[in-house]
Amino acid sequence: MKIISKRRAMTIYRRHPQSRL
């Protein structure tokens, strides 16, 4: 798995709050 920055994870989480990565 690739390590993503917290900022990136936050953006993805906001885009897909229902989906957890």
pLDDT of residue 19: 59
Are residues 12 and 21 in contact, defined by beta-carbon separation less than 8 angstroms?
A: yes
Our CA dihedral for 5, 7, 13, 3, rounded to 10 degrees, sits at: 0
Are residues 21 and 9 in contact, defined by beta-carbon separation less than 8 angstroms?
A: yes
Q: Token pair for residue 9? A: 């994870």
| Model pTM above 0.85 | no
Are residues 16 and 8 in contact, defined by beta-carbon separation less than 8 angstroms?
A: no
| Predicted confidence (pLDDT) per residue in 1-21, tens digit | 577 788 888 887 787 766 555
